């Protein structure tokens, strides 16, 4: 396994690599390029980098305009700010299907030191509610790179959710990412764990704990929240008959909500959603936040055990 690489480093490096291949790729920043690592692109291609200041609404407007001229704009800011411009996103990106790739950095709880105002735990639910919007939450640096390559190759609006800290490596260079495709990371027969984004590393740890206790655990990673890979989710639910979703995000409207929608319509299956329970988080170190809001590997494993106990006795 290679060294953990933070998603933001993968983001910056991939922007530069794509910039060399795709002359129409441009990047817009709202005063956070050093943190998001968009600065790497700014240094490599200063003429294709636009610093718009702390003006996220304007950033989306400019990006949408550039996209109508054939450019492929990536907008880059923190996830908490990537939705302060929802009206612009809806009106000039999503509704007219403009080719703007919105990236939300420092998402979830792993931004504790920036303070509670900066914790974005509703972003996937918000973006997922918009027609035409693709929503992707990669699990590690490799998947960030593959997802960005895939996003540049297709025309249309997208939201890419990234996290700040180095993420444990899950995929290697041979991984084939496909927009709208979920991947089975572990095979099992007793229970299915479904997760997205950075949470998938903790979900895999939970699966290891459960397997060590003799609970055969199937793990499905869902990098694309929208369009959702319903077939893979339904098949996994059929196989084990019990499902736990896990996400570093609100349990309302994100992965848990999406899986509940699909299963209740197509394959009713007892479901437990692990995630932030409709509250705002606090300012605290990251580990303390993961613990308090119940999204550590231990929490996922405990949720799976009690789910099994409830339905299999």
Q: Residue numbers of the site for another protein (CB under 8 A)?
A: 50, 52-53, 55, 58, 62
Provide, rounded to whole angstroms, the least separation between the CB of residue 217 and another protein.
51
Nearer to another protein, 58 or 129 (CB): 58
Catalytic residues: 56
Supply 22's token pair: 């795709």
In 32-72, alpha helices (H): 33-36, 39-44, 56-68
Alpha carbons 92 and 62: distance in angstroms, whole number: 10
Enumerate residues 6+ apart whose C-beta is below 8 A from 30. Answer: 52, 53, 54, 55, 56, 59, 75, 76, 77, 81
Nearer to another protein, 89 or 284 (CB): 89
Nearer to another protein, 4 or 61 (CB): 61
In the chain, alpha helices (H): 7-21, 33-36, 39-44, 56-68, 86-88, 123-128, 141-153, 199-212, 230-240, 255-266, 286-292, 297-311
First to last CA, the chain: 40
Provide, rounded to whole angstroms, the least separation between the CB of residue 15 and another protein.
21
Provide, rounded to whole angstroms, the least separation between the CB of residue 61 and another protein.
9
Nearer to another protein, 65 or 166 (CB): 65
């Amino acid at each position: 396994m290679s060294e953990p690489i933070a998603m933001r480093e993968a983001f910056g490096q991939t922007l530069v690599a794509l910039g060399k291949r795709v002359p129409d790729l441009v990047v817009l920043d709202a005063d956070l390029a050093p943190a998001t690592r968009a600065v790497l692109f700014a240094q490599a291609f200063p003429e294709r980098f636009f610093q718009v200041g702390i003006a996220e609404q304007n950033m989306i407007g400019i990006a949408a305009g550039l996209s109508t001229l054939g450019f492929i704009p990536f907008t880059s800011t923190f996830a908490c700010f990537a939705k302060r411009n929802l009206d612009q996103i809806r009106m000039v990106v999503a509704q007219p299907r403009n080719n703007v790739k919105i990236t939300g950095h420092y998402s979830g709880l792993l931004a504790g030191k920036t303070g509670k105002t900066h914790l974005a735990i509703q972003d996937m639910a918000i973006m997922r509610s918009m027609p035409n919007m693709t929503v992707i939450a990669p699990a590690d640096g490799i998947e960030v790179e593959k997802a960005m390559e895939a996003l540049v190759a297709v025309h249309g609006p997208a939201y890419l959710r990234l996290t700040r800290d180095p993420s444990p490596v899950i995929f290697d260079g041979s991984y084939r990412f496909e927009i709208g495709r979920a991947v089975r990371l572990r095979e099992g027969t007793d229970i299915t764990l479904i997760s997205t984004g950075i949470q998938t590393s903790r979900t895999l740890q939970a699966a290891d704990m459960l397997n060590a206790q003799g609970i055969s655990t199937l793990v499905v990673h869902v990098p694309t929240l929208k369009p959702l890979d319903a077939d893979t989710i339904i098949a996994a639910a059929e196989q084990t008959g019990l499902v736990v979703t896990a996400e570093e995000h609100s349990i309302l409207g994100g992965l848990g909500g999406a899986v509940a929608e699909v299963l209740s319509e197509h394959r009713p299956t007892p479901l437990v959603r692990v995630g932030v329970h409709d509250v705002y988080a606090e300012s605290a170190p990251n580990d303390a936040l993961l613990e308090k809001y119940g999204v550590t590997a231990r929490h996922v494993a405990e949720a799976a055990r009690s789910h099994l106990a409830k339905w299999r006795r």
